[in-house]
Amino acid sequence: MKEKWDSRGAFVLAAVGSAVGLGNIWRFPIICYKYGGGAFLVAYIIALFLVGIPILILEFSLGAKMSASAPLSFKKINKRFTWIGWFALLIAFIIVTYYTVIMSWSANYLIHSVTLKWGSNPKTFFFGNVLHLTQSIEQTGRFVMPLIIGLVVIWIWIILSIWKGAKTVSKVVYVTVILPWIILIVLVIRGITLPGAIEGIKYYLTPNWSQLANLKLWQEAFTQIFFSLSVGFGVMIAYASFLPKKSDVVNNAFIIGLADAATAYVGGFAVFSVLGFYAEKMHVPISEVMKSGPQLAFITYPAIINNLPLPQLFGILFFLMLLTLAVDSAFSLVEAGVAGLQDTFNIKRGSANLLIAVVAILIGLIYTTGSGLYWLDIVDHFMSYYGLFFSALLETLVIAYFYRKKLKEYANSVSEIKIGFWWDIIVMFIIPIISIFLLVNSIIDTAHAAYGGYPRWAEIIAGWLPLILALIFAFVLSHFTNRREK
């Protein structure tokens, strides 16, 4: 008997938990600011409805109808397509190897919050004391013990959260999805009541409409939608496969898409209110304190925390929020892989969990060295700008031209909201065209110069090689899936 969610609520929470992650808090607000504030929001909402929700409908319908993980779902369409499911899972796996390292940094910072250990120079603390960052990618540096310990602890947490699959996840998400929301609301209230906050929020939201003519804005809006909704990784297919028969899929896709976007939007208030406060305090323009990604969470935020009343409490809340936001995204990536392995090999659940954890920790060790941040940066770029679109493109093409009618029939037979002709047009033309556009754009970007100014050889090792290996492994694993009588 295939495992099932405890309730519809558990499924919705788990899917929202996967979607809502680090991407919402540290990526969305910054690109929103960079590409015209309110204008970016408009583009983001268009991207959500134009590709995000339609592809969520696709993945939910596929997983629910086939009641199978990504590779087996594609196999049921045609054996020639099994590898596409595996490719998605392998990209997901590569992502989780570094996503968990970022969580390990957060775990370290959670502990540092107790004593505000970053002191008055959070930048030196992060790059020097925490990461032991080397001068360049050529110097490997040494393994950093606290990061390794953090990584192992995070993996234990992940494995325990998915130990019995959907059954365990159904319970865990009530805490790990709801808690960070509560903390986020607390942080927003704290943020907007600080002096200078309004200036920060103005920066975040004031629309610069001319940006809508900027192609980059659209590229970022669509990239963010794909990554943030966790589509194209086989995750939503696996999660939908644990739904009881006849569960609504269209309605759920709308709920999850909107909840994810809403969280990102609210996250912006938490980030920009405190940036406004900090800029005022330091007497500098906000643009100077704006940093994206790791810099924002591990340098700017600690600096801001230093200036708040009850800084320890604020630090603990912030890093606890990051960790609990990230953990459900991380275990969804693992769960999708476990489901794939179980559909293919006669492997016990516990063994599949452990196998993935051990291999992921071993790979993750690379990012715990002094040059880890550089490698993480390249791998992240290649997975989110190439692997993801490639996987989404393959997935939609197969569905659009080999299985669209049946899938639509299924979705409409179980869902309250019916999908119409618009969905066919989106899946057949719009998503493939946009994915190709994004892929070509990324290729042009890196053809000019290696990504991020790194040497070409590093880009080949950390960017192209994992993609090629993922393709090769996808074919090898699909051979095993196809041999099975399922």
21 binds ligand PFF per the rule CB under 6 A: yes
210 by Cβ neighbours in 10 Å (0-12 / 13-18 / 19+) ranks as exposed
Q: Smallest distance, Å, CB 231 to ligand PFF?
A: 8
**Where does this chain touch ligand PFF (CB under 6 A) — which range of 76-84, 225-233, 242-250, 466-474?**
225-233
Q: Smallest distance, Å, CB 101 to ligand PFF?
A: 14
Q: Smallest distance, Å, CB 326 to ligand PFF?
A: 7
194 binds ligand PFF per the rule CB under 6 A: no
Near ligand PFF by CB under 6 A: residue from 104, 273, 300, 332: 332
Amino acid at 207: P
**Where does this chain touch ligand PFF (CB under 6 A) — which range of 18-26, 341-349, 427-435, 468-476?**
18-26
329 binds ligand PFF per the rule CB under 6 A: yes
Near ligand PFF by CB under 6 A: residue from 33, 227, 277, 454: 227
- The torsion angle over the Cα atoms of residues 66, 71, 76 and 82, rounded to 10 degrees, is 160
DSSP-derived 3-state class of residue 121:
coil
Smaller CB distance to ligand PFF: residue 92 or 411? 92
Closest CA to 391 of 100, 96, 83, 97: 83
Token readout for 484 is: 């099975």
Tokens 């890196």 correspond to 446
Tokens 């810099």 correspond to 295
Near ligand PFF by CB under 6 A: residue from 17, 23, 85, 196: 23
Near ligand PFF by CB under 6 A: residue from 22, 53, 225, 407: 22
Tokens 């669509």 correspond to 222
Q: Smallest distance, Å, CB 168 to ligand PFF?
A: 18
333 binds ligand PFF per the rule CB under 6 A: yes
228 binds ligand PFF per the rule CB under 6 A: yes
Residue 213: HSE in the Cβ half-sphere, 13 Å Cα cutoff: 3
DSSP-derived 3-state class of residue 369:
strand
106 binds ligand PFF per the rule CB under 6 A: no
**Where does this chain touch ligand PFF (CB under 6 A) — which range of 15-23, 45-53, 148-156, 194-202?**
15-23
Contact (Cβ atoms closer than 8 angstroms) between residue 209 and residue 40: no
Smaller CB distance to ligand PFF: residue 18 or 219? 18
Q: Smallest distance, Å, CB 244 to ligand PFF?
A: 23
47 binds ligand PFF per the rule CB under 6 A: no
Q: Smallest distance, Å, CB 230 to ligand PFF?
A: 3
Q: Smallest distance, Å, CB 301 to ligand PFF?
A: 17
268 binds ligand PFF per the rule CB under 6 A: no
Token readout for 232 is: 């194209």
Binding mask 63-102 for ligand PFF (x = CB under 6 A): -----------------------------x----------
- Residue 170's alpha-carbon distances to 167, 174, 238, in angstroms, are 5, 7, 14
Smaller CB distance to ligand PFF: residue 10 or 334? 334
Amino acid at 206: T
Q: Smallest distance, Å, CB 449 to ligand PFF?
A: 27
Smaller CB distance to ligand PFF: residue 134 or 324? 324
161 binds ligand PFF per the rule CB under 6 A: no
Helix (H) or strand (E) holding 259: helix 250-282
Q: Smallest distance, Å, CB 26 to ligand PFF?
A: 9
CA distance 72 to 399: 14
Residues 6+ positions from 17 with CB-CB distance below 8 Å? 173, 176, 177, 328, 329, 332
**Where does this chain touch ligand PFF (CB under 6 A) — which range of 1-9, 224-232, 361-369, 389-397?**
224-232
17 by Cβ neighbours in 10 Å (0-12 / 13-18 / 19+) ranks as buried
Near ligand PFF by CB under 6 A: residue from 101, 235, 323, 458: 235
Within 10 angstroms of residue 447's Cβ, the number of other Cβ atoms is 8
Smaller CB distance to ligand PFF: residue 56 or 133? 56
Query: What is the residue-wise DSSP string for 23-72?
Result: IIIIIHHHHHHHTTTHHHHHHHHHHIIIIIHHHHHHHHHHHHHHTS-HHH
Q: Smallest distance, Å, CB 143 to ligand PFF?
A: 26
Contact (Cβ atoms closer than 8 angstroms) between residue 62 and residue 392: no
Near ligand PFF by CB under 6 A: residue from 83, 87, 105, 233: 233
Near ligand PFF by CB under 6 A: residue from 12, 13, 15, 19: 19
- Residue 176's alpha-carbon distances to 96, 106, 180, 263, 327, in angstroms, are 17, 15, 7, 15, 7
**Where does this chain touch ligand PFF (CB under 6 A) — which range of 156-164, 267-275, 326-334, 475-483?**
326-334
Closest CA to 342 of 354, 352, 330: 352
Contact (Cβ atoms closer than 8 angstroms) between residue 93 and residue 333: yes
- Contact residues for ligand PFF (CB under 6 A)? 18-19, 21-24, 92, 227-228, 230, 233, 235, 329, 332-333
